[in-house]
Amino acid sequence: MKIINVKLFAIPLIVIALLILSSFTSVHAATSSSGNCLSAQQFSLIGIQWGSTTSEIQVGPGSKDVPLTITLLNNNLGCTIQFANVSLGNPIENVPAVFSIISTQSGKSVYVSDLGPGASAQVTFYLNIADNATIGNYSLPIKIEYSNSTISYNEYIDTNVSVLGIPDIVISTKNDVITSGQINNVSVTFTNTGTGNASSISTTVSSSETIFQQVSEIASLPAGASVTKYFEVDVPSSSGSSASTFSFSLSYTDPDEQTATQTQSLDFLVQSDIAIELTSSSILPTTPNAGSPFSITVTLTNAGLGTADNVEAVPSVPSGLTNLGDGAISIGDLSSGSSTSFTLTLITNDSLKTGTYVIPINVSYLNSLQQVVGDEVNIPVKISQSGAQNATSSSESTGNNNTSSATYLDELIIIVIAVAEAASAAVIAFLFLRYKRSSKKSNK
């Protein structure tokens, strides 16, 4: 019976001892992973970038809703952080005014829990960047509040973020018409409408047409700047299409020295090759006199491959000349290789000075795109001034310069002949009188 009593008494003692041991172990474990293991410099900043840890992005003035990812390291190898609150800004330094945190995305702060020894954590804030932000680096303060069950700390980390701008290259052209059957020298304008600079811009142009010469490299294109480049393309004369699309693949270096790419396309209209040329011109009389009418016969030829529809010729008569015919001459359609002739009748003013006068003739037609196209041919005309036409001409003059000139010359010849005859008669009379006197002296 005594043995049984001892065993019954020992059982409670064993239970009490086990409870005390369990309590000691629990307290010791709490101490090693909570308050007593924390330190004032618990965190290290190991990364900060726009975008995510796997996809960095560029930002510039006016960028909206952009992620900013911060990577923090628990550099205390003997302590697990149960709770941490990360926010931007601290009591000494505020977030730059050009940044505004979007509370609907991440809130003003981000929470981290159970960060083990030597472990890292990423926190992401979403920000808007003001339109008036300048390109450059900005100081960005970070505040970390962390604690375990019995102790807490505040830690402040200063870092920098860059606002380098985002290039955005737009390609445009002022002339979106190319011509079939020939090599076209096409001009395109590259404009950087973004907020960041782009450099080493290479362009590859592709199309169903034959590209003879690609666009040359652009060394640098600052934000807001433009540059015009050229490429050559051959459109076959057999092309039945009225439009052609060109794709432009761009590769360039962005402000962060990263390679960026863009692809754009432009649509061009394709017109038939039409070339209205002056084949010949004849003037009758060859050198018109001032005040007299004359005619010009003009021959035009379509040296292109397409048909010019509704061809019309309109002379632009310079001052001092008057067109005696209609203002516009309707020619009709002019197919490839065909020619047409028409005659203009003009008259000059009496006072028109001697010289060469150019008569421009505007030739307009409809191309294959039903667009009005205009060419110009120039006809030089040499005008002479008649000798009888002068400032002292009487108001009764008939205006026939050739008749006046002939009459004047005839009268002048008659006067000269009369003077010559009178002079001859005087000489003969003088010689005769001298001969008579000599004869009388001889008889004496």
| pLDDT profile of the chain (444 residues), mean per 10 | 44 50 39 60 92 90 94 91 91 88 76 93 94 94 88 91 95 93 94 96 94 94 97 82 91 93 95 92 94 95 92 94 91 94 94 93 92 92 68 34 42 48 55 53 48
Tell me how far apart the alpha carbons of residues 88 and 110 are, in angstroms, rounded to a whole number. 10
Tell me how far apart the alpha carbons of residues 102 and 88 are, in angstroms, rounded to a whole number. 12
CA torsion 392-397-401-405 (nearest 10°) is -70
231 with 198, same domain: the answer is yes
Global pTM reads 0.61
Q: What is the CATH number of the domain that holds 177?
A: 2.60.40.10
User: What number of residues does the chain have?
Assistant: 444
57 with 153, same domain: the answer is yes
Nearest residue to 229 (alpha-carbon basis) of 237, 219, 244: 219
Answer whether residue 142 is part of any domain. yes
The pLDDT of residue 178? 92
Tell me how far apart the alpha carbons of residues 171 and 333 are, in angstroms, rounded to a whole number. 37
Answer whether residue 5 is part of any domain. no
Neighbours of 125 (CB within 10 A): 24
Distances from the Cα of 399 to the Cαs of 323, 355, 386, 389, in angstroms? 20, 20, 10, 8
The pLDDT of residue 428? 55
254 with 324, same domain: the answer is no
Asked which of 238, 271, 304 is the last residue of a domain, the reply is: 271
The total domain count for the chain is 3
73 with 146, same domain: the answer is yes
223 with 256, same domain: the answer is yes
Answer whether residue 408 is part of any domain. no
157 with 46, same domain: the answer is yes
159 with 48, same domain: the answer is yes
Q: Does residue 108 contact residue 86 with C-beta atoms inside 8 Å?
A: no
Asked which of 341, 363, 383 is the last residue of a domain, the reply is: 383
Nearest residue to 69 (alpha-carbon basis) of 120, 130, 136, 137: 120
265 with 282, same domain: the answer is no
The whole-angstrom distance between residue 274's C-alpha and the CA centroid of its chain comes to 27
73 with 159, same domain: the answer is yes
267 with 324, same domain: the answer is no
192 with 158, same domain: the answer is no
184 with 78, same domain: the answer is no
Answer whether residue 4 is part of any domain. no
Answer whether residue 225 is part of any domain. yes
Provide the residue range defining the domain that includes 51.
42-163
Residue tagged 């006016």 (tokens):
62
φ and ψ of 274, to 5 deg: -125, 130
- The dihedral of CA 221, 226, 231, 233: what is its sign? positive
Answer whether residue 65 is part of any domain. yes
The pLDDT of residue 398? 34
Neighbours of 167 (CB within 10 A): 26
Answer whether residue 420 is part of any domain. no
Asked which of 163, 183, 209 is the last residue of a domain, the reply is: 163
Please, which residues bridge with residue 154 across strands? 145
Answer whether residue 47 is part of any domain. yes
Q: Which two tokens stand for residue 330?
A: 């309707």
Neighbours of 47 (CB within 10 A): 13
